Amino acid sequence: MSASNEENHFLKNLRKCSNDQTFHFSEGNLSNSNDIINSLDQIQWTNLTSLDLSSNKLRDITLLTYADKLEILNLSNNFLNNVSSVIGCKSLISLDISKNDIHELPELNRLPFLEKLNASHNPLASISGLWGCMNLRYLDMTSCHLTSSILTGLNHNEIQLGAINPLETTNTLLIYLKEKNLFDKLQPTLLGIPNLRLLNLSDNPQIFHILTYQFNRNEWCSIQTNLYNKDSLHNPSTNDPSGYGLLPTNIEYLNLQKCNIHFINGLTLMKRLHTLNLSQNQIIDDQALM
C-alpha cells in the first residue's frame, strides 16, 4: 500500500472512532500530509480510549485537544518538542512520549488518573510538571540529560550565580543555598510524586549525587512547608526521624544504571526497595548495601 493510500486508510478508519475504542497507526507517515493532519481536527473522539501514533514524524499534536476519554496514548519516536496538548486528555492512565525532542514537561499533575509515564530519551531541562502527580506509579526518564539541579527543582542559572561548582558536593550545595537564601526554593520534584513505585533514571551521568543528598529534620521541615503544605499534599514519611533524600521512600524498583554514581548512602532511606540496578557505575562505598 502506498504512503498516500495508507494515510487515506488511516483517516477512513479513524473517522469510525465513535464506535471503536482502540486505534493503532504506528510507523505511518502522517507528517507528510498537512491536509490529513488538519482533517483530524474534525474527528469524533467520543469513545476512543487507546491511540498509538508512534513513529510518525509528528511535530504537532493539537489534534488531541478533544480526546478527553483517552486512557492510553503512545506518541513515542516522533519530532515533538511540545506536548502540552495532552493536558486535555483528562482520562489518561498511560502516556508514552519517549524519543522526542521535549525540553520541558507540561503540568502533568492536571491528569488526575495518570499512573504510567515514559518520557525517556528526551533532552529534558525541567521536570517540574511532575510535581503533584498523585497517582503516578511508573516513571521512566532514561537518557534525559538530567542533572542534579533539575532534580532539586532549582533554576540552573540561580545556583551558578557567584558559585564555583555548587553541586560538587552535597554539603557545598546546602551551604550555598543557605548563604544565598535559596534554601526555601528547594523543590525536589520527585518528592511530589508520593505514590511512585518504579523509577528508571538510567543513563543520566549528571545525577551522580542523587543518593548522597540527605536533609536533617529541620531542613526537611523547611522543604515540607514549601512543598507539601503549599499544595496540601500528604507525605507519609513526615514522622520518619532518620533523614530524607531526593527520592520518595516508597519506591520499590530503582534503575540508576550508568549514572556515574560513587556513593550510595541514601539507599538506607529507601526501606521498601526490592529491586535495584546500579550496574556500570563506580561505587566507592557500598556499605549501604550491607
Q: How confident is the chain (290 residues) per 10-residue block, as mean pLDDT?
A: 51 50 64 50 69 90 83 96 95 98 97 98 96 96 93 65 47 64 74 94 94 75 61 46 73 97 88 96 75
pLDDT at 249: 85
Q: Please state the φ and ψ torsions of residue 65, each to the nearest 5 degrees.
A: -50, -35
CB atoms within 10 A of CB 107: 14
Q: Any idea where the domains of the chain sit in the sequence?
A: 1-102, 145-290
The answer regarding whether domain 1-102 maps to CATH 3.80.10.10 reads: yes
Q: Is the pTM of this model over 0.85?
A: no
Sequence letter at residue 152 = T
DSSP annotation of 94 reads: E
Asked whether 80 and 104 are in contact (CB, 8 A), the reply is no
Q: 546500579: which residue's cell?
A: 278
C-alpha torsion sign, points 222, 224, 228, 232:
negative
Q: Which of 188, 201, 197, 190 is nearest to 281 (CA)?
A: 201
pLDDT at 171: 55
Asked whether 43 and 65 are in contact (CB, 8 A), the reply is no
Asked whether 138 and 198 are in contact (CB, 8 A), the reply is yes
Counted residue by residue, the chain has a size of 290
pLDDT at 290: 58
